[in-house]
Amino acid sequence: MIDLNISSVALVPENPTFNTAHDPLKVYCNDGSFYIIKSNHTNDYFFDYGYFNEFISTFLLNLWEIKTPEISVVNLDTDFLSNLGLENKYQPQYFGKPCFGSKFVKNPEDFLYTSFNSVPTLPRYYSNLIDFLKIGLFDLWACNTDRSPNHSNLLIGNSNCKEIYAIDHYNCFNGEHYKKLISSHQLCKSKSILNTVLLKKIFKKHEHFDFENYFKTSIKACEDNFDDILSTIRD
């Protein structure tokens, strides 16, 4: 059984907006955690494919044993927005619907895309260095056009040790409809982070790892659980 948490916004902190795509908003919820939320920008819950791709991709990443922030369905009382003086794009009509919430990673740093190809030595401070390769394989399978050598969509968490987190999967499956588990398109070589200097160095360090078996086993787990994932999100 796959579970999906539901949270309610207790307050909206100062400076809650980000200058990024899909108009995310930082909020504090009744479970005692900060979340970055994204709204459904349509009048039909099942029409905004990217909104659902965020939920679906998180469940799939967990099956691939890739670190990604915890998620929740977040309900926001639109009265919170009325006195904040936010830009018009933060419409109550959108945020009044259940939102996708990604739990805020403590002490986050953006992983700079320039680090993919400017690494004289292999970094030793990540506790999950092999996850770079797992993320690259996941992106190939899911045709995730949201991540590339020029746009990492990776966060570095610094709670007890440095850990890499995969974030933002709005355009997984090549931006196609959420009902498709596997995209009919393929991620071209130049768009894959596997083709970067950093990941080639990491691969040399982890050549003993059975990537073929990992790839096949992860895909099988997704196929076995996909119907359950969709049912959980729809409910």
| pLDDT one-digit tens code per residue, 18-67 | 877 778 899 999 999 999 999 887 766 556 778 888 999 999 999 999 99
| pLDDT one-digit tens code per residue, 53-78 | 899 999 999 999 999 999 999 998 87
96: closest CA among 224, 9, 225, 203?
9
CA 171 to chain centre: 10
With a cut of 70, list the residues of the chain below it in pLDDT: 1-2, 43-47, 175-185, 235
Q: How many CB atoms lie within 10 A of CB 175?
A: 16
Per-domain residue ranges of the chain? 5-103, 109-209
pTM greater than the 0.85 cutoff: yes
